[in-house]
Amino acid sequence: MTKKVAIVTGGIKGTGRAILEQFVDQGIDVVTNFRKDQATADAFLKEFENKKAKVHVLHADLGEQDQVNKIFDFVKEKYGYLDYFIANAAATAFKPLLDIKPHHVEKTFAITITAFLIGCQRSAELMRGRNGKIVAISGYDTHTYLPRHGVLGAAKSALETLVKYFAVELAPLKINVNAVNPGFLATTSTKIYMGDLYESIKQANEQITPRGRVTEGKEIADVVTFLCSDKADWICGQTIRADGGLSHIQPMAMPEK
């Protein structure tokens, strides 16, 4: 039981992959999931053969409660304990709110909120006596308007609230719960969402971000692995904005001609 074990949801690409890679580099076994891209999952798993830590990839849709439990059941049977739970996966219908249907809301909140709720409950069971860490990945859309992000922004805002409540309730069990809120993320998902506008939007964000560039997945992974370290034991129920200072910047109003 000296071997550390982590669950990283949605860990085969983007920020999730960057987090998973850092865990593997530290010798931590990781269990992750994918929803529908079997070919990408197979190629991903092949990359992590012969590493100093094991990577397990499960086919599981976090929008289904039994599939969330499937991940934790696997960890319970394989290891019997858990050290880190990173709630990274998210999905939504990117539409204006006037076009949103009830099933879009249900699916988005199922993946972001219900899966996190179940994940924390199962983590509390598996982390007892292990000084466990739970970290949720939030989003820039919780505090800044992003077109077609209304439902996901609402879900991520609720996620940050759950982080506070779980942090208080799990603290007596010596389990830390925190969140990381990135700025503009230069990931595959962002490129798909923005399409042809990606490069121009990326450049605009680079210009207004105080650190002079946009957020990369590795930078979020650095914060996550810090929050999972013993040095972060006294950080409880916080949402860390790791965005290079972007959240402090407001576009200047253009003067009237």
The pLDDT value given to residue 256:
52
Residue 251 has a pLDDT of 63
For residue 140, give the amino acid letter.
Y
pLDDT of 253 reads 47
Q: Which contiguous run of DSSP H or E holds residue 58?
A: strand 55-59
pLDDT at position 193:
65
Q: Provide the domain count of the chain.
A: 1
The answer to whether the predicted template modeling score (pTM) of the entire model surpasses 0.75 is: yes
Kindly state whether residue 203 falls inside one of the protein's structural domains: no
Write down the pLDDT at residue 250: 72
Q: What is the pLDDT along the chain (257 residues), one digit of tens a residue?
A: 789 999 999 999 999 999 999 999 999 999 999 998 888 899 999 999 888 899 999 999 999 999 999 999 999 999 999 999 999 999 889 899 999 999 999 999 999 999 999 999 999 999 999 999 999 999 988 988 888 889 999 999 999 999 999 999 999 999 999 999 998 877 777 777 667 777 877 888 888 888 888 888 899 999 999 999 999 999 999 999 999 888 888 765 444 54
**How is residue 14 written in tokens?**
């983007």
What pLDDT, on the 0 to 100 scale, is given for residue 103?
97
Domain that holds residue 102: 5-187+217-245
Residue 211 in any domain: the answer is: no
Task: Give every CB contact of residue 151 below 8 A, 6+ residues apart in sequence.
Answer: 92, 93, 97, 100, 104, 105, 108
Contact 32, 20 (CB under 8 A): yes
Q: In this structure, is residue 46 part of a structural domain? A: yes
Residue 241: alpha-carbon gap to chain centroid: 13
50: number of Cβ within 10 Å: 5
CA distance between the termini of the chain: 69
Is residue 152 in some structural domain? Answer: yes
Q: b/e map of 162-171 (b: 16 or more CB within 10 Å)?
A: bbbebbeebe
- Say what the pLDDT of residue 214 is: 82
83 assigned to some structural domain: yes
Q: Is 92 inside a domain boundary?
A: yes
Return the CATH number at 62.
3.40.50.720
What count of residues does the chain have? 257
Does residue 99 belong to any structural domain of this protein?
Answer: yes
Q: How far is CA 199 from the centre of its chain?
A: 24
The answer to whether 159 touches 112, Cβ cutoff 8 Å, is yes
Task: Please give the pLDDT value at position 238.
Answer: 98
Would you say residue 206 lies in a domain? no
